[in-house]
Amino acid sequence: MTEIKKEEEKSLNFLEEIVQADLEAGKYKSILTRFPPEPNGYLHIGHSKSIILNFGLAQKYGGDTNLRFDDTNPVTEDTEYVDSIKEDISWLGYEWANELYASDYFEQIYQFAIKLIRDGLAYVDDSTSEEIAKLKGTPTEPGKASPYRDRSIEDNLRLFVEMRAGKYKDGEKVLRAKMDMASPNMLMRDPIIYRIKHAHHHRTGDKWCIYPMYDFAHGQSDSIEHITHSVCTLEFVSHRPLYDWFIEKLGIFPSRQYEFARLNLTYTVMSKRKLLQLVNENFVTGWDDPRMPTISGLRRRGYTPESLHVFAEKIGVQKRDNLIDMSLLEFCIREHLNKIALRRMVVFDPLKIVLTNYTEGEEFLQSENNPEDPGSGHRDIPFSRELVIEREDFMENPPKKFFRLSPGQKVRLKSAYIIQCDEVIKDAAGNITELKCSYIPGSKSGGDQSNIKVQATIHWVSIPHAITAEVRLYDRLFKVEDPANEEGDFKDYVNPDSLQVLPAAYAEPALKQAKFTEHYQFLRKGYFILDKTSSEEKMVFNRTVTLRDNWVKEQGKK
Ligand code: ATP
Ligand code: MG
């Protein structure tokens, strides 16, 4: 009950306001939205904003959402992309009412074009694209009519039918809508609505050699499906008059277009065309590389659908473009993983410790799986005479405020005993190879009777029980905040150190049972998930995110 109340109290975003007003005015019985990806790449986090918005609107107001593949460009599209898009939307937790393809409407859209020609509202133009561009004018000067603008309706019909029949080569002719060559909106100066393209289409094969342009396909598809609210990003504001013009002239269902700001994130790029270059030129290992801002990359990295929903909620829906800080996304995943991740100990850079006063053998210590989740239970951690700790947790000549291990100083081993460093062993070159330590017998966690106060608790792994795993640590994919807006090629700004591989970290044995579906917090190291390439022989973990935002701190130091 309180949940629902909260929901009502939250202020509506501007699209919710529009939908609510339309429903209250009785304009529609129920609403129908759509998510219209072009299957020319994998979805990225920007798309997730659009998905959550479109499906979210329908869910909130009891309507439906269609998944419509906007596949009117035969050259760049692929069924691999169709499959990945469906997987990503399902993963975000949504079910579409209908799976549709703009290419299924090619015949209907063709008939719309015939109607425009019959009504004297479209003509076949033989001009080259250069000639068309020349006559288009400039934002301050009106355009000039093409010499083909006043062709008879009969000629236009015959030529358009011939275009469809394959009589002409690519670029030889186009079909243009007769709008207004003097319009201040350049897009209204007789836009091209059909072009010739002798290309194989991923669904219609070689059936068509003419294809409708975006502006003569998108609104028409919306209208055919009776979409009530067609939500798109701001760059389409200037296309809205075309959208409305076609619907009005064709006298078809009056879908309406609304625009919101696209999501831009720091330290990455957000365009399929650019992401494709990163894949093709091997800057990353694939569309689902954990450094990619794709939904599949984020999933492989260990992001949860919940975290993307919270993120979308936090950034809201704006009418002005902006750049969102990547650390906000990281904040969202950290918050969620803190609640669900199982705690484990893994040592990345091992330094051996021998507890000289600990008798041979082992004992099992108990440690909570997740202090944030009392229901998560405990696990046993084997303890023995020989352990590894993190090399950086020891300093032979520590500065004043170093509270971890150093000669004569004590620390607590997490869920285990307090130890003290007695002797530092080095090799011939002077490298520290081992520490001889002693443990305090009465100091076991949970029943500590030692009365000794220590300043630090460090993680550790018992050597005879350890398993090894590869650990992959990721950094920003780009060195600059907004690579797409830097001078030169955005790829010049790729961060060469975005991946660090630790081939053999020491992990506590409970991780042998790690599951692909589970998230882990490696104590003091961050949140991790098994990579899809992980196997029983060779476990591989991806770091989803560090525990705290140390990026900002490190940048400050430079
Ligand atoms: P890209 O430039 O990455 O290829 P696009 O806009 O061409 O993006 P589409 O497949 O055409 O990609 O987009 C499907 C839907 O997702 C559209 O409604 C589009 O407006 C929306 N969308 C795409 N990118 C973003 C983004 N960064 N933020 C919000 N919505 C987006
Ligand atoms: Mg596009």
Question: Bridge partners of 367?
Answer: 379
| Separation of alpha carbons 543 and 529, rounded Å | 7
Q: Which residue's alpha carbon is at the smallest distance from atom 23 of ligand 1?
A: 47
| CA dihedral over 329, 335, 340, 345, signed as positive or negative | positive
- Ligand 1 center to 556 CA (angstroms): 34
Pick the CATH number of 265-342+469-557 from 2.40.240.10, 2.60.40.10, 3.40.50.150, 3.20.20.70: 2.40.240.10
> 15-260 has which fold?
Rossmann fold (3.40.50)
Is the shortest distance between the CB of 412 and ligand 1 below 6 Å?
A: no
What is the number of other CB atoms lying within 10 angstroms of the CB of residue 91? Answer: 16
Cα–Cα distances in angstroms (integers) from residue 40 to residues 82, 221, 436, in the given order: 8, 18, 60
- Ligand 2 center to 66 CA (angstroms): 17
Tokens of 215: 């502006």
| CA dihedral over 184, 185, 190, 196, signed as positive or negative | positive
Instruction: Please give the pLDDT value at position 549.
Output: 67
- Asked whether this chain's domains 15-260 and 351-459 adopt the same fold, the reply is no
Strand order in the sheet with 64-69: 32-35, 64-69, 99-101
- Ligand 1 center to 47 CA (angstroms): 6
Q: What residues are annotated to the active site?
A: 38, 262, 272
- Just give the CATH number of 351-459: 2.40.240.10
Is the shortest distance between the CB of 233 and ligand 1 below 6 Å?
A: yes
- Ligand 1 center to 216 CA (angstroms): 18
Strand order in the sheet with 432-439: 457-458, 410-413, 418-426, 432-439, 350-355, 386-390, 460-462
Instruction: Please give the pLDDT value at position 139.
Output: 92
Q: Which residue's alpha carbon is at the smallest distance from atom 8 of ligand 1?
A: 271
Is the shortest distance between the CB of 227 and ligand 1 below 6 Å?
A: no
Tokens of 237: 């504001």
| 497 φ/ψ angles, rounded to the nearest 5 degrees | -110, 35
Angle between helix 240-250 and helix 218-225 axes, rounded to 10 deg? 50
Instruction: Please give the pLDDT value at position 79.
Output: 84
Is the shortest distance between the CB of 293 and ligand 1 below 6 Å?
A: no
Is the shortest distance between the CB of 347 and ligand 1 below 6 Å?
A: no
**3-class SS string, 211-241:** EECHHHCHHHHHHHHCCCEEEEEHHHHHHHH
| CA dihedral over 91, 92, 97, 99, signed as positive or negative | negative
Residue by residue, pLDDT tens for the chain (558 residues) are 334 445 555 789 999 999 999 999 999 999 999 999 999 999 999 999 999 999 999 999 999 999 999 999 887 777 899 999 999 999 999 999 999 999 999 999 999 999 999 999 999 999 999 999 999 999 999 999 999 999 999 999 999 999 999 999 999 999 999 999 999 999 999 999 999 999 999 899 999 999 999 999 999 999 999 999 999 999 999 999 999 999 999 999 999 999 999 999 999 999 999 999 999 999 999 999 999 999 999 999 999 999 999 999 999 998 888 899 999 999 999 999 999 999 999 999 999 999 999 987 789 999 999 999 989 999 999 999 999 999 999 999 999 999 999 999 999 999 999 999 999 999 999 999 999 999 999 999 999 999 999 999 999 999 999 999 999 999 999 999 999 999 999 999 999 999 999 999 999 999 999 999 999 999 999 999 999 999 999 999 999 999 986 545 554 544
Length of the chain: 558
**Burial class of 360 by CB neighbour count within 10 A (0 to 12, 13 to 18, 19+):** exposed
Instruction: Please give the pLDDT value at position 2.
Output: 39
Mutate to test the pocket of ligand 1, among 50, 94, 292 (most ligand atoms within 8 A of CB): 50
Is the CB of residue 349 less than 8 Å from the CB of residue 525? no
Q: Which residue's alpha carbon is at the smallest distance from atom 2 of ligand 1?
A: 271
Mutate to test the pocket of ligand 1, among 43, 47, 68, 323 (most ligand atoms within 8 A of CB): 47
| Separation of alpha carbons 412 and 515, rounded Å | 30
Going from N- to C-terminal start, the domains of the chain cover: 15-260, 265-342+469-557, 351-459
Question: Bridge partners of 235?
Answer: none
